[in-house]
Amino acid sequence: MNIELFIQLGYVVAAGLFIFGLKMLGSPDTARRGNGISAIGMLVAIVAALLDQGIVQYEFILGGMIVGGAIGAIAARTVAMTSMPEMVALFNGVGGAASGLVGIAALSIADSSFTYITIILSILIGGVTFTGSLVAYGKLSETIGSGALTFSGQKFVNALIVIGIVASAVMFVMDPSNTNMLYTVVGLSLVFGIMVVIPIGGADMPVVISLLNSYSGLAACAAGFAVDNNVLIVAGSLVGASGIILTQIMCKAMNRSLSNVLFSGFASVSTTVTEVEGEIKPISVEDAYYVLEAATNVAIIPGYGMAVAQAQHVVKELMELLEANGCEVNYGIHPVAGRMPGHMNVLLAEADVPYDQLLEMDDINPRMETVDVAIVIGANDVVNPAAREVESSPIYGMPVINVADARTVFVLKRSMASGFAGIENPLFYKDNARMLFGDAKESIGGLVREFS
Amino acid sequence: MDVFSYLLFILMLSVFLGFELINKVPATLHTPLMSGANAISGITVVGAVALAGSGNADLAQWFGAGAVALASINVVGGYMVTDRMLGFFKKKEG
């Protein structure tokens, strides 16, 4: 059997293992094995690639693999679960950069216009993914401000960049010896990645991360065209498709279109004033304890504030005490709660909360009327009844968790400042709402002490 | 059939397959799905090794080696962190 056929068969096996692994990721019972199967697929693909007879020198390959593998392993072992969003952003960016570099390196073997086009595509998508992810990383880790950065003429500048990219790309493909055009594409792609992400605010990050995830796959896919490799195309498009689906889910959960998220921050609508009737009713930890002690059904609705306060472990303690007291406890997780898809689920899973108690929005809402106490921890916009009741509200139409249907609502909140979107929350003024002010971790810690 | 249309054919089929597979993933697994998918996008290492080891054109070799390093971060880091996360997911006992 000749070696080329053997390599191709290896790629087929690898692609099959990726598909099978992704399928097993669809259920919590099999997900871990699925990830392992996908990793075996990757190993098969890499071994097959190393058999390539065009490879005459292994030093560069081994050096790269050892350095990269060590960095990846250390990062994966040491990262805290609360830092997962920025970690995923960083990994996306690294993947994009890798595909962009493959594109540049493939110039040495390029021989047709078609190849040059695919090389340009992989550089473009890879570059945008790289710098876009770095900006997302900065925003998520708060090393740069997490707010939306907009300036007048932003759309105009972006349009100019796009025109510049297209023009220099076309000129490069027509005359590949003109490397200045290539450098222009590289530079503009990197700038464009920054420009696309800076106008997007922290609360919209779930959309951006999903989209960049998709781009990192598409970049690999483009690189696959550039080097004529089908396993890159299969794997890259699987990742691309998965990122696009997550992006769609996130947009739907915010009742906004993708272009609305990408091109207009909430800033333009924050002037809307909603008149809210009623008054804020604070509650002490002690009184909250008496209410919880009598409750038989409690729903906990976490938001980004729970991640910031690192309150997930103490929340789990409270849950155990409530359950020991004969109370049923469930969690209601909004799809865009936190900074990335599934952020809350990972945090609570780390705190040993069984995943079958983490209910999706559509499952918890019908049950809300039977809930004695709904505890909102560091969530705001995702429980804002204005989304259902106030037509003039900028978030009107967004699906929310209907905590106001519960008999009593406790809202754990640092202060009365409005949520990320800068929208007044009528929930706090409802008759059955009680505000428990202070750091979420300390408030819940106080409740735990009352119980024990 | 030339290479181009054959590759496009693969692209089309895999995109549809990807949509079908991912649509069924529950919200609770979205983060591990994302980091697991990200690890798969490190497949670009396969394209990079051939270029890094080609032994010709210095610049291509260096870029290829850089791509191998970056993609290896993706592959190793992505799979390990996904595994770590999925280790946390437990069902209620009893």
Q: Which residues of A touch B26 (CB under 8 A)?
A: 26-28, 360
Contact A236/B41, CB-based, under 8 Å?
yes
User: Pick from A124, A126, A128, A107: which is nearest to A116 by CA?
Assistant: A107
So what's the pLDDT on residue A138? 93
B64 vs chain A: nearest CA distance in angstroms? 6
- Of B3, B7, B21, nearest to A22 by CB-CB distance is B21
Q: Taking CA B73 as the corner, what is the angle to CA A44 and CA A99, rounded to the nearest 5 degrees?
A: 80
**Cα→Cα distances A270→A131, A185, A376, A418, A450, Å:** 29, 37, 23, 11, 40
User: Pick from A298, A279, A280: which is nearest to A415 by CA?
Assistant: A280
Question: Under CATH, which number does the domain A285-451 receive?
Answer: 3.40.50.1220
Question: Sheet of A433-437: strands edge to edge?
Answer: A358-360, A328-333, A297-302, A373-377, A408-413, A433-437
Q: Which residue in A4, A8, A60 has the most chain B C-beta atoms within 10 A of its own C-beta, making it the best mutation to test that interface?
A: A60
Do A49 and A7 meet the contact criterion of CB atoms below 8 Å apart? yes
Beta strand residue intervals within A114-246, DSSP E: none
**Angle between the A113-140 and A179-197 helix axes, to the nearest 10 degrees?**
30
Query: Which residue do the tokens 């918890």 mark?
Result: A364
Do A329 and A405 meet the contact criterion of CB atoms below 8 Å apart? no
So what's the pLDDT on residue A270? 44
Question: What backbone phi and psi angles, to 5 degrees, belong to A118?
Answer: -70, -35
Question: What backbone phi and psi angles, to 5 degrees, belong to A359?
Answer: -95, 145
Taking 3-state DSSP, the helix, strand and coil percentages for chain A, each rounded to the nearest 5, stand at 65, 5, 30
How is residue B68 written in tokens?
């191998």
Q: Taking CA A233 as the corner, what is the angle to CA A86 and CA A229, rounded to the nearest 5 degrees?
A: 120
Contact A241/B29, CB-based, under 8 Å?
no
pLDDT tens profile B56-74 = 667 888 899 999 999 999 9
- Of B22, B30, B47, nearest to A102 by CB-CB distance is B47
pLDDT tens profile B40-57 = 999 999 999 988 887 766
Residue B4 touches partner A, C-beta closer than 8 Å: yes
The rounded distance, in Å, linking the Cα atoms of B43 and A158 is 31
Considering A52, A356, A381, A439, which one is annotated as catalytic? Answer: A381
What residue ranges do the domains of chain A occupy?
1-78, 87-267, 285-451
Residue B11 touches partner A, C-beta closer than 8 Å: yes
The rounded distance, in Å, linking the Cα atoms of A147 and A291 is 37
For residue A332, the cross-strand partners are: A359
So what's the pLDDT on residue A178? 87
Q: Which residues of B touch A36 (CB under 8 A)?
A: 83
So what's the pLDDT on residue A266? 46
**Cα→Cα distances A86→A28, A75, A92, A100, A210, Å:** 23, 12, 10, 21, 12
Considering all CA atoms of chain A, what is the largest pairwise distance in Å, rounded to the nearest integer?
80
> Searching chain A, which residue's CA lies closest to the CA of residue B31?
A342
Beta pairing, strands A373-377 & A408-413: parallel
Residue B86 touches partner A, C-beta closer than 8 Å: yes
Residue at A289: amino acid letter: Y
Residue B29 touches partner A, C-beta closer than 8 Å: yes
Contact B47/A114, CB-based, under 8 Å?
no
The per-residue DSSP string of A328-394 comes to EEEEEE-TTSSSSTTHHHHHHHHTT--GGGEEEHHHHGGGGGG-SEEEEES--GGG-THHHH-TTST
Contact B77/A75, CB-based, under 8 Å?
yes
Query: Which residue do the tokens 């350095």 mark?
Result: A67
The rounded distance, in Å, linking the Cα atoms of A322 and A297 is 9
Q: Which residues of A touch B72 (CB under 8 A)?
A: 64-65, 67-69, 72
The per-residue DSSP string of A307-324 comes to HHHT-HHHHHHHHHHHHH
The rounded distance, in Å, linking the Cα atoms of A303 and A305 is 5
**Cα→Cα distances B86→A292, A329, B29, Å:** 32, 23, 8
Residue at A20: amino acid letter: F
A19 vs chain B: nearest CA distance in angstroms? 8
For residue A118, the cross-strand partners are: none
Burial degree of A418 (CB within 10 A; 0-12, 13-18, 19+): middle
pTM, 2 dp: 0.90
- Of B22, B38, B72, nearest to A68 by CB-CB distance is B72
A412 three-state secondary structure: strand
Q: Over chain A (452 residues), what is each successive 10-residue block's mean pLDDT? A: 88 95 93 96 95 85 95 94 91 95 90 90 96 94 80 86 94 90 94 91 86 94 92 95 92 85 57 63 90 93 91 94 93 92 93 93 93 92 87 83 92 72 78 89 92 82
Rounded to a whole number, what is the distance in angstroms from the first to the last CA of chain A?
Answer: 71
Residue A381 annotated as catalytic: yes
Query: How does B13-52 read in b/e, with b if 16+ C-beta sit within 10 Å?
Result: ebbebbeebbeebbbbbbbbbbbbbbbbbbbbbbbbbbbb
So what's the pLDDT on residue A219? 95
Q: Which residues of A touch B21 (CB under 8 A)?
A: 19, 22-23, 26, 238, 241-242
The rounded distance, in Å, linking the Cα atoms of A231 and A448 is 53
Residue B9 touches partner A, C-beta closer than 8 Å: no
Helix (H) or strand (E) holding A327: none
Contact B74/A209, CB-based, under 8 Å?
no
A57 vs chain B: nearest CA distance in angstroms? 5
ipTM: 0.94
Residue B2 touches partner A, C-beta closer than 8 Å: no
Could you tell me how many CB contacts below 8 A there are between chain A and chain B? 388
pLDDT tens profile A113-165 = 889 999 999 999 999 999 999 999 999 888 887 777 777 788 889 899 999 99
- Of B23, B67, B75, nearest to A72 by CB-CB distance is B75
Contact A22/B63, CB-based, under 8 Å?
no
Beta pairing, strands A408-413 & A328-333: unpaired
- Of A11, A72, A360, nearest to B74 by CB-CB distance is A72
